């Protein structure tokens, strides 16, 4: 389609263009320079428009790969990841990633093709009601009905995805809308009367929190992913240091507070440190910041922070009071709220004893694993990855044992280097997310830590790695089982390992070779050090099949239904 | 507890679907839901009658509804002075003997017969839930062929009692 200029009677000039061209124009306006996607019938006009543009498109080998890559991109850049998929199966293949992004608040803008408006609702070829399907798992979604609306919708979609509590927004574009001609126009500003996120906190509430801090003897800060989204790491650090308040992280909040800081207690929750969980159990003031008190964090709510006044800072009012009764609710962005709090709070309570008590716990009950010096322990493997990357790398994971070991042993000290599937717990997430993370931040080494189970769910994306020569290192923590399932069966199902052992594995080295990717088997610690160093050195795609001991469990642990103080496996 | 909640929403396609889906997903039991235009054709008003367990669930419900992009305003009317009405159409089996009897029965309810045939009459009644229920019970002995009810629609009265105890929620 060649764009043509026509005179408009009222305004000076209006450019007529096709819906597909409008989409490209609107994407450029939003500053989008990379798309993740997979073409198909209903998005052919869009891909044709893309052909003429200078926007980078990453062709994954499955739509799930595209959306997880976009999530990795969004997580490390803070910008919306953009995804294109075709109608029907293309769109439905995105569902897992959309749900994952929704629960972990990742900004995504997803464009799906749709059959032509004339056949919508007739069960046409490759038709699926993706707007209906994704309604409960998107922050908002649209179906474009008039071509003129398209630029405005795209503008709104990016605005909604990237402001307030971030989240995925889906725009469904019928094929005839992509080909129809219309005038391109966008309003100067997005006006959404029903969407006005509260960024600045209520100062009366902030004052209440400042007063609570002034008298608290056992305060603790629980910093979640909201701190990272707001870029409030420095504010939290100042708050903690100024008032001598210990800090625990949620799983997704890792990296928002330096892991080597004396006030850092570690991760809290099901596989958190003893010190962090006891701090949440015994505290008299709990300051939750950008954390949503997920059940994997709180354990049995009857035992969670029962002695504490709970203050909750969150940009999403619906999160406050959802799970944990809150005394001091503060709606606002973490950065602005903590800044206001720092201005407001001049005196602190005497926390000396509390800080001493917790640091005692921290040194008396550290994370542990049995070293035998011969076999490769998965925990040691993660320590080695930390040593070899100097803790600088972007690390992505799936869900399960390897994820928890990474959270426990990698030691994140800088923000936005930890990409994991928290709320949804998606197997197959880590490897494609690493591709997106590398594209989003090419400067840093990127390591995808996956399990032998999860890697096999999205390993077709090796093809992307090979094509783009992306220096992503895949570390398969290979324990020949679905480790976390096996662990639960061991502890709660009397060792009945129903369908959790995978003794027969593909030859991952040969598999990588088939895709033209260097790979090696790792069996010892020494092996791991050398080969990882080589892989990092090579600055090319690399796969390490790390054969770790298969009977290792993640400890400590809060059993389901138990309180946060009732941990098992605290001591060897 | 039973709550009457109104939501003022943008009149976009799928809004009702979005709200009912939200309520289902979060396990709220909808008793009735009515929708119609406001004086602005771009804005609709939804009245939801819903059963919630406690104040915390209610607060969560209001916040989740408010969070939707197309929702402009959410209000819990239950504890306010309000006017609430539903409409019911009731088709009752009649014989020439009972027809006049029915007329007498419905009169105090300010209901009206809006359709008559040889075997039955159709009655229109407007009012709150109890009134409609009461009329239905009175008509039941005659044989009810069909009932069609709209569910509740409501708005606060122009004058509110000076003191009423509304829960303070931290929406903003």
Minimum-distance CB partner of B170 among A145, A160, A317? A317
| Residues in A lying within 8 Å of B, measured between beta carbons | 131-132, 135-136, 139-140, 143, 145, 160, 192-195, 198, 202, 316-318, 320-322, 325, 329, 331
Helix (H) or strand (E) holding A298: helix A295-298
Question: Torsion over CA of B13, A167, A440 and A266, rounded to 10 degrees?
Answer: -170
For the residues of A14-55, what is the DSSP string, one character each? EEEEEHHHHHHHHHHHTT--EEEE---GGGHHHHHHHHTS--
**What is the CA A91 to chain-centroid distance, rounded?**
21
**Residue B59 per-residue DSSP state:** H
Is B166 a residue whose pLDDT tops 60? Answer: no
Which of the residues A102, A111, A155, A175 is marked catalytic?
Answer: A175
B interface test, pick of A160, A194, A205 with most B CB neighbours within 10 Å = A194
Four-residue CA torsion sign, A264, A266, A269, A275: negative
Distance CA A461, CA A517 (A): 12
Which residues make Cβ contacts (< 8 Å) with residue B34, sequence separation at least 6?
B46, B47, B150, B151, B152, B153
Report the pLDDT value the prediction gives residue B170, as an integer from 0 to 100.
Answer: 46
Distance of residue A495 Cα from the nearest chain B Cα, in angstroms? 35
The candidate with the shortest Cα–Cα distance to A224, out of A280, A147, A145, is A280
Task: Using DSSP bridges, classify how beta strands A472-478 and A446-451 pair: parallel, antiparallel or unpaired.
Answer: parallel
For the residues of A461-529, what is the DSSP string, one character each? GHHHHHHHT--EEEEEEE-SB-HHHHHHHHHHSTT--TT-B------HHHHHHHTT-EEEEE-SHHHHH
Helix (H) or strand (E) holding A379: helix A378-389
Distance CA A544, CA A525 (A): 13
C-alpha dist (Å) from residue A115 to A88, A417, A494:
8, 39, 51
Minimum-distance CB partner of B69 among A145, A195, A322? A195
Q: Which residue has the tokens 């990698």?
A: A410
Helix (H) or strand (E) holding A309: strand A309-314
* A286 dihedral zone (left: phi>0; alpha: psi -120 to 50; beta): beta
pTM of the model as a whole: 0.94
B interface test, pick of A317, A329, A330, A332 with most B CB neighbours within 10 Å = A317
Check if A461 is active-site: no
pLDDT digits (tens, 9 = 90+) for B135-161: 999 999 999 999 999 999 999 999 887
Whether the Cβ atoms of residue A220 and residue A279 lie closer than 8 Å to each other? yes
Residue A161 token pair:
């995805």
Q: Which residue has the tokens 């010096």?
A: A373
A chain contacts of residue B13, beta-carbon cutoff 8 Å: 143, 145
Phi and psi angles of residue A112, each rounded to the nearest 5 degrees, phi first: -115, 145
Distance of residue A177 Cα from the nearest chain B Cα, in angstroms? 17
A chain contacts of residue B170, beta-carbon cutoff 8 Å: 317, 320-321, 329, 331
Distance CA A236, CA A225 (A): 12
A chain contacts of residue B70, beta-carbon cutoff 8 Å: 194
Report the pLDDT value the prediction gives residue B28, as an integer from 0 to 100.
Answer: 93
Mean pLDDT of B70-98: 94
Count the alpha carbons within 13 Å of A354 in the hemisphere toward its beta carbon.
24
CB-based contact B60 A139, cutoff 8 Å = no
CB-based contact A321 B60, cutoff 8 Å = yes
Residue of chain B nearest A328, judged by CA positions: B170
Contact B36/A at CB under 8 A: no
Report the pLDDT value the prediction gives residue A13, as an integer from 0 to 100.
Answer: 58
Check if A139 is active-site: no
Distance of residue A334 Cα from the nearest chain B Cα, in angstroms? 15
Check if A510 is active-site: no
Which residues make Cβ contacts (< 8 Å) with residue B96, sequence separation at least 6?
none
CB-based contact A194 B69, cutoff 8 Å = yes
A chain contacts of residue B172, beta-carbon cutoff 8 Å: 198, 202, 317, 331
Distance CA A160, CA A171 (A): 12
Give the pLDDT band of residue B13 (cuts 50, 70, 90): confident
Check if A135 is active-site: no
Whether the Cβ atoms of residue A406 and residue A420 lie closer than 8 Å to each other? yes
Contact B38/A at CB under 8 A: no
Contact B7/A at CB under 8 A: no
CB-based contact B70 A194, cutoff 8 Å = yes
Whether the Cβ atoms of residue A422 and residue A252 lie closer than 8 Å to each other? yes
ipTM over 0.95: no
B interface test, pick of A318, A324, A325, A329 with most B CB neighbours within 10 Å = A318
CB-based contact B170 A331, cutoff 8 Å = yes
Residue of chain B nearest A131, judged by CA positions: B14
Mean pLDDT of B104-125: 96
Which of the residues A15, A53, A126, A566 is marked catalytic?
Answer: A126
Angle between helices A63-77 and A95-103 (to 10 degrees): 20
Contact B69/A at CB under 8 A: yes
Residue of chain B nearest A157, judged by CA positions: B69
Residue of chain A nearest B58, judged by CA positions: A322
pLDDT digits (tens, 9 = 90+) for B60-80: 999 999 999 999 999 999 999
Distance CA A26, CA A154 (A): 7
Report the pLDDT value the prediction gives residue B167, as an integer from 0 to 100.
Answer: 55
Minimum-distance CB partner of B17 among A135, A193, A316? A135
Which of the residues A25, A30, A63, A319 is marked catalytic?
Answer: A63
The candidate with the shortest Cα–Cα distance to B100, out of B115, B127, B124, B121, is B121
CB-based contact A318 B63, cutoff 8 Å = yes
CB-based contact A316 B17, cutoff 8 Å = no
The candidate with the shortest Cα–Cα distance to A74, out of A97, A92, A90, A46, is A97
Beta partners for A306? none
CB-based contact A194 B72, cutoff 8 Å = yes
CB-based contact B66 A135, cutoff 8 Å = no
B chain contacts of residue A318, beta-carbon cutoff 8 Å: 60, 63-64, 66-67
Q: Which residues of A365-380 are buried (b: 16+ CB within 10 A; e: fewer)?
A: bebebeeeeeebbbbb
Mean pLDDT of B30-58: 94
Strands in chain B per DSSP E: 2-10, 29-37, 43-51, 71-76, 82-93, 112-116, 120-127, 144-149, 153-156
Residue A152 token pair:
């405005």
C-alpha dist (Å) from residue A377 to A367, A487, A526, A542:
14, 16, 12, 21
Residue of chain A nearest B18, judged by CA positions: A135
Per-residue pLDDT tens digits of chain A, which is 572 residues long: 334 444 444 444 567 999 999 999 999 999 999 999 999 999 999 999 999 999 999 999 999 999 999 999 999 999 999 999 999 999 999 999 999 999 999 999 999 999 999 999 999 999 999 999 999 999 999 999 999 999 999 999 999 999 999 999 999 999 999 999 999 998 889 999 999 999 999 999 999 999 999 999 999 999 999 999 999 999 999 999 999 999 999 999 999 999 999 999 999 999 999 999 999 999 999 999 999 999 999 999 999 999 999 999 999 999 999 999 999 999 999 999 999 999 998 899 999 999 999 999 999 999 999 998 889 999 999 999 999 999 999 999 999 999 999 999 999 999 999 999 999 999 999 999 999 999 999 999 999 999 999 999 999 999 999 999 999 999 999 999 999 999 999 999 999 999 999 999 999 999 999 999 999 999 999 999 999 999 999 999 999 999 999 999 999 999 999 999 999 999 99
Which of the residues A457, A484, A557, A567 is marked catalytic?
Answer: A484
Distance of residue A231 Cα from the nearest chain B Cα, in angstroms? 22
Check if A175 is active-site: yes
Report the pLDDT value the prediction gives residue A373, as an integer from 0 to 100.
Answer: 82
Which residues make Cβ contacts (< 8 Å) with residue A490, sequence separation at least 6?
A497, A553
Give the pLDDT band of residue B172 (cuts 50, 70, 90): very low
Report the pLDDT value the prediction gives residue A346, as an integer from 0 to 100.
Answer: 85
């Amino acid at each position: 389609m060649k764009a043509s200029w026509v005179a408009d009677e009222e305004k000076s000039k209006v450019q007529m263009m096709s819906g597909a061209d409008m989409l490209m124009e609107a994407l450029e306006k939003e500053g989008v320079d990379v798309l993740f996607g997979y073409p198909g019938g209903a998005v052919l006009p869009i891909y044709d428009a893309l052909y003429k543009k200078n926007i980078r498109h990453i062709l994954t080998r499955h739509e799930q790969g595209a959306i997880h890559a976009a999530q990795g991109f969004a997580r490390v850049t803070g910008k919306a990841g953009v995804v294109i998929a075709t109608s029907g199966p293309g769109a439905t293949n995105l569902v897992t990633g959309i749900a994952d992004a929704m629960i972990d608040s990742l900004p995504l803008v997803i464009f799906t093709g749709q059959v032509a408006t004339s056949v919508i609702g007739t069960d046409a070829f490759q038709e699926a009601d993706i707007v209906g399907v994704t309604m409960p798992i998107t922050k908002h979604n649209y179906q474009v009905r008039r071509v003129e609306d398209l630029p405005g919708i795209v503008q709104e979609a990016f605005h909604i995805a990237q402001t307030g509590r971030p989240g995925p927004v889906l725009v469904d574009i019928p094929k005839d809308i992509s080909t129809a001609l219309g005038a391109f126009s966008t309003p100067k500003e997005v006006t959404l009367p029903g969407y006005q996120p509260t960024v600045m906190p209520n100062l009366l509430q902030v004052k209440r929190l400042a007063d609570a801090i002034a008298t608290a003897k056992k305060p603790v800060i629980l910093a979640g992913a909201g701190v990272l989204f707001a870029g409030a790491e420095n504010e939290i650090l100042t708050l903690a240091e100024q008032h001598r308040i210990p800090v625990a992280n949620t799983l997704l909040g890792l990296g928002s507070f330096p892991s080597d800081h004396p006030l850092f207690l570690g991760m809290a929750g099901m596989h958190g440190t003893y010190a962090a969980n006891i701090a949440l159990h015994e505290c008299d003031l709990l300051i939750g910041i950008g954390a949503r008190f997920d059940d994997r964090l709180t354990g049995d709510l009857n035992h969670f922070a029962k002695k504490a006044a709970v203050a909750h800072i969150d940009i999403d009012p619906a999160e406050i009071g959802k799970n944990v009764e809150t005394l001091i609710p503060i709606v606002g962005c973490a950065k602005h709220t903590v800044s206001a709090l720092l201005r407001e709070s001049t005196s602190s309570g005497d926390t000396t004893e509390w800080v001493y008590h917790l640091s005692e716990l921290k040194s008396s009950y550290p994370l542990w694993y049995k070293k035998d010096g011969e076999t490769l322990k998965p925990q040691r493997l993660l320590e080695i990855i930390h040593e070899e990357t100097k803790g600088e790398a972007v690390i992505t994971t799936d869900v399960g044992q390897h994820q928890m070991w990474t959270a426990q042993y990698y030691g994140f000290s800088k923000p936005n280097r930890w990409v994991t599937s928290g709320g949804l717990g998606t197997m197959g997430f880590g490897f494609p997310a690493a591709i997106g993370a590398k594209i989003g931040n090419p400067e840093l080494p990127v390591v995808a830590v996956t399990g032998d189970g999860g890697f096999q769910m999205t390993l077709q994306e090796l093809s992307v790695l090979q094509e783009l020569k992306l220096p992503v290192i895949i570390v398969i923590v290979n324990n020949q089982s679905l480790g976390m399932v096996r662990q639960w069966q061991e502890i709660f199902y009397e060792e009945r390992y129903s369908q959790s052992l995978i003794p027969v594995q593909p030859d991952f080295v040969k598999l990588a070779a088939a895709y033209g990717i260097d790979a090696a088997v790792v069996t010892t610690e020494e092996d791991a050090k050398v080969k990882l160093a080589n892989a990092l050195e090579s600055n090319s795609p690399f796969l390490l099949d790390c054969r770790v001991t298969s009977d290792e469990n993640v400890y400590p642990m809060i059993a389901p239904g138990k309180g946060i103080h009732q941990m098992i496996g605290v001591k060897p | 507890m039973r709550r009457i909640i109104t939501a003022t929403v943008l009149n976009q396609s799928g809004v009702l679907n979005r709200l009912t889906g939200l309520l289902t997903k979060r396990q709220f039991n909808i008793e009735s839901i009515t929708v119609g235009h406001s004086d602005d054709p771009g804005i609709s008003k939804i009245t939801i009658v819903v059963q919630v367990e406690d104040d915390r669930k209610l607060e969560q419900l209001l916040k989740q509804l408010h969070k939707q992009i197309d929702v402009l305003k959410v209000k819990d009317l239950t504890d306010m002075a309000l006017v609430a009405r539903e409409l019911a159409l009731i088709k009752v089996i009649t014989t020439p003997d009972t027809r006049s009897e029915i007329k007498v029965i419905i009169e105090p309810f300010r209901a009206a017969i809006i359709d008559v045939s040889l075997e039955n009459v159709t009655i229109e009644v407007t009012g709150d839930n109890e009134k409609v229920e009461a009329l239905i019970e009175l008509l039941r002995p005659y044989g009810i062929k069909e009932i069609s009810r709209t569910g509740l629609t409501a708005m606060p009265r122009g004058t509110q009692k000076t003191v009423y105890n509304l829960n303070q929620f931290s929406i903003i």
